[in-house]
Amino acid sequence: MPQTRTIAVAMSGGVDSSTVAAMLRAEGHNVVGLTMQLWNQRRLAGHEGMPEAVQGRCCSLDDVYDARRVAETIGIPYYVVNHEERFERDVVRPFVEQYLSGRTPIPCSLCNNHLKFDQLLIVAQQIGADALATGHYAQVDFDQTRGRWLLKRPTDRSKDQTYFLFGLTQEQLSRTLFPLGGMMKPEVRQLAQQHGLALAQKPDSQEICFVPGGDYKKFLDAYLAEQGESLPDTAGELVSTDGEVVGEHGGIHNFTVGQRKGLGIATGSPLYVIQIKGDARQVVVGDQEELYSRTLRVHRTNLISVEDLREPMRVTVKIRHRHEGASAQIEKSGDDGILVSFDQPQRAITPGQAAVFYDDTVVVGGGWIA
């Protein structure tokens, strides 16, 4: 029997975090369930392009209801905490601004850094919990020899969420538990069933929680309209990699690096978005080969397994969540930057996404692609 602790569980109403709560409770810990209310789904309902009725995954009343039912079933106190203001400031606004400047943001990492492992962890400690447990697929360990907390890939590689967690500090990792890190997803569902949780077969969530149907363009329109702002005019030229003007576009926020469809020009060979030049409002297009590049730079770096990067290091780098990882060397570049040099050129390196560095299963750190 492990030592009894007071543990707060971040409950989303999904099967993973619900199972975490049930597991920890069964181990005899004092468990407190917390759900963050981050976004009011009703806000944009009925705006043009948005559904009339309340929809969307996260923070819906249905999810809160599911989480509350789980808490009742396993017999733990449960609370909803409202962090809508912080979420809008630190996640939604940056998300909108990144798109408008021609980048492709990942709000989940921002939410982890600013909300889950910051605000919620503080609340957890304030209400007397020693640690915050979540349903993320990842592992956290203290390494005696290095004297550092390590973030590691989970047993179920198909569910690996370490890419979204690269921003965690040593302090945050020291108070975080990922009880599902050593389990396979089917085992988790089975365990949920065994604990009598009605939602054991609830489907996994996929899309960005505050963007209904995953259509970010409609979300931008609706959000800006609600704020009384208009979509800035970022229409401009489509140019080739040689700088030759080959067409026009209706706004840079409509494009993502690597995108093929929707360019509106007919040529012999397929064209791809190679680069988005926000200041010049230019979208650079080219053929498949021109999408590849050998280096990238990240900024706002966070290092986990090492305190500092004194000399270049060989790592595997993921440049998007579903990227399989590629061998590269990383070295310091400026104050909080790192230069990544791949062994093989990589396709569609996308500003706004994160590059996360791995040493086998250990997360070395990561940063935002400049």
Tokens of 354: 């994160």
User: Would you count residue 126 as binding another protein (CB under 8 A)?
Assistant: yes
Which helix (H) or strand (E) element contains residue 303? strand 292-303
Query: Please, where are the H alpha helices in the chain?
Result: 15-26, 61-74, 84-87, 93-100, 107-111, 121-126, 170-174, 185-194, 216-226
Residue 245 within binding range of another protein, rule CB under 8 A: no
Task: Decide if residue 127 touches another protein (CB under 8 A).
Answer: yes
Distance CA 135, CA 197 (A): 15
CA angle 242, 101, 282 (to 5 degrees): 20
What is the nearest approach in angstroms of another protein to the Cβ of residue 126? 5
Q: Burial-class residue 360 by CB neighbours within 10 Å (0-12, 13-18, 19+).
A: exposed
> Closest separation between CB of residue 124 and another protein, Å?
9
233 and 100 in contact (C-beta within 8 Å)? no
Question: Pick from 23, 32, 151, 211: which binds another protein (CB under 8 A)?
Answer: 32
At 363 the three-state DSSP class reads strand
Token reading at 214: 């995953």
Options 108-116, 117-125, 311-319, 330-338: segment touching another protein (CB under 8 A): 117-125
The amino acid at 131? A
Using the rule CB under 8 A, give the single segment among 120-128, 204-212, 248-256, 262-270 that binds another protein.
Answer: 120-128
Which residue in 58, 59, 108, 111 is the catalytic one? 111
Minimal distance, residue 297 CB to another protein, in Å: 31
**Residue 79 interacts with another protein (CB under 8 A): yes or no:** yes
Encoded one letter per residue, x for contact with another protein by CB under 8 A and - for no contact, window 35-74 reads: x-x---------------------x-x--x---x------
The single residue among 28, 128, 262, 312 that binds another protein, judged by CB under 8 A, is 128
Pair of tokens at residue 267? 């040529």
59 a catalytic residue: no
174 binds another protein (CB under 8 A): no
Stretch that binds another protein, among 119-127, 167-175, 231-239, 318-326 (CB under 8 A): 119-127
Give me 185's structure tokens. Answer: 């997803």
- Cα angle value 109/364/205 (rounded, 5°): 30
Check residue 184 for interaction with another protein (CB under 8 A): no
Member of 101, 125, 155, 316 binding another protein (CB under 8 A): 125
Cβ–Cβ < 8 Å for 48, 222: yes
* Residue with Cβ nearer another protein (65 or 142): 65
Of the pair 64, 100, the CB lying nearest another protein is at 64
Q: Does 170 sit near another protein (CB under 8 A)? A: no
User: What's the closest the beta carbon of residue 122 comes to another protein, in angstroms?
Assistant: 6
Site for another protein in 82-101 (CB under 8 A): 82
CA 52 to CA 315: how far, in whole Å? 47
- For residue 249 the two structure tokens come to 């576009």
Give the burial class of 310: count Cβ atoms within 10 A of its Cβ; 0-12 exposed, 13-18 middle, 19 or more buried.
Answer: exposed
58 catalytic? Reply is no
Stretch touching another protein by CB under 8 A, among 118-126, 158-166, 201-209, 359-367? 118-126
Cβ atoms of 80 and 63 closer than 8 Å = no
List active site positions.
111, 209
User: Which residues lie near another protein (CB under 8 A)?
Assistant: 32, 35, 37, 59, 61, 64, 68, 77, 79-82, 122-123, 125-128
